[in-house]
Each structure stands twice: as structure tokens, then as C-alpha cells.
Amino acid sequence: MSEVRQVGAVDWDAEVLGSGRPVLVDLWAAWCAPCGVVGPIVDEIAGDRAGSLDVFKLNVDEDPEVAMRYGVSSIPTLLVFRDGEEVGRVVGALPKARIEAQIDEALSGARA
């Protein structure tokens, strides 16, 4: 299973923007009930896509700078990056299949 790593503003550029693979970042907070639903799904996706997708989690209460930088006003929010650019986002607690479909759509460059 692929490791889901914590990331913050200090290492954001190197870890997320500088990754050689597509990246998924889960922005969450401990008090957020829907985040508790999405968190395990993100863990599963990390395992399913080990080697092809880097997966990180960022606690917005501990490190709000990144959320502000990307205009995230609701959590859970999943940000999808390719080549250092945000190519998609998933907002809210959705089923795994819908989350994966939105990730795939973002990474393929297709628009709904």
C-alpha cells in the first residue's frame, strides 16, 4: 500500500509542485465529520494507485496557508496536480467511484 504523507506550506513546493508524478492532496480538519468519511477513501486510492499517484494530506487548521493560497473555503477538498499545476478538485464527501472518476477526468484533461 502506498504511503499517504503529511504535507504543509514549508514543503509544499518541493513535495507537491515538484513531484514527478500526478499528486492528490486531501485538505481536511479533525473537527470535520465529512473529512472522516473521505480520509479512508483517500487512503484506499493511495493504495490502489501506488507508483502512479503521490498522495498527501494537509490539516487546514494546523497549516491554513495552502488552503488560502488555493482559495479552498470548504472541506474536505481534494486537489489534483499534474506537472506542478492544479488540474482539478473534488469538494465534499463523495463515494469512492465518483472521487476516482473526477481524479481521472482531471488527469486526462477532459472537461465535463
Write the CATH number for 77: 3.40.30.10
Identify the sign of the CA torsion 85, 91, 93, 96. negative
Pairwise CA distance, residues 3 & 42, whole Å: 11
Dihedral over alpha carbons 83, 20, 42, 65 (to 10 degrees): -60
Determine the average pLDDT of the residues in 71-100.
Answer: 97
Q: What is the predicted pLDDT for the residue at 112?
A: 44
Average pLDDT of the chain, as a whole number: 94
Determine the average pLDDT of the residues in 93-109.
Answer: 95
Q: What's the pLDDT tens digit per position in 6-16?
A: 999 999 999 99
Q: What is the domain extent for residue 43?
A: 5-108
Number of domains making up the chain: 1
The band of 2, judged by pLDDT with boundaries at 50, 70 and 90, is low
Q: Which residues are catalytic?
A: 32, 35
Q: Specify the pTM.
A: 0.93
